[in-house]
Amino acid sequence: DAGITQSPRHKVTETGTPVTLRCHQTENHRYMYWYRQDPGHGLRLIHYSYGVKDTDKGEVSDGYSVSRSKTEDFLLTLESATSSQTSVYFCAISKEGGYGYTFGSGTRLTVV
C-alpha cells in the first residue's frame, strides 16, 4: 500500500539460519507492527513499536526480535529460523488513537 513497503516479498530459507524482514514507511507514523498470518488464526501480533528504540512484545513473540533505529524502518529478525515460523508476515503502521492502519503487502517466508 502507499507509504509502506515490505521486503522481501518471498523468501525461502533453511532451518537454523538467521532471517531479517524489513518494513519501511514514508508516513512518519509513530506506531509500527509485525504480524504473522496462519490458517485458522487470523493475524497475530509478534512485536510492535511506539517510537524509535521503543518496542514491546506481542502475543507470539518467542523466537523473534525487532529493532527500530529510525522512525521509518522496523526490522523483524528470526535469529534461528524454524519450520514453525513458516508463515506470511505483515507489517502495519498507524497514527495515534487507533483510528486507521495501513498494511504492507506481506512477506511469505518458508523455512525448509
Partner 1 sequence: AQTVTQSQPEMSVQEAETVTLSCTYDTSENNYYLFWYKQPPSRQMILVIRQEAYKQQNATENRFSVNFQKAAKSFSLKISDSQLGDTAMYFCARPDNNAGNMLTFGGGTRLMVKP
Interface ranges with partner 1 (CB under 8 A):
1, 31, 33, 40-45, 48-50, 56, 58-59, 88, 90, 92, 94, 96-101, 103, 105-106
The type of residue at 25 is: Q
Residue whose CB is less far from partner 1, 1 or 79: 1
Sign of the alpha-carbon dihedral angle for 88, 94, 97, 98:
negative
Residue whose CB is less far from partner 1, 43 or 75: 43
Look up residue 45 and give its DSSP letter.
E
Provide the 10 A C-beta neighbour count for residue 106: 18
Residue whose CB is less far from partner 1, 52 or 80: 52
Shortest distance (Å) from residue 31 CB to partner 1: 6
SS3 97: helix
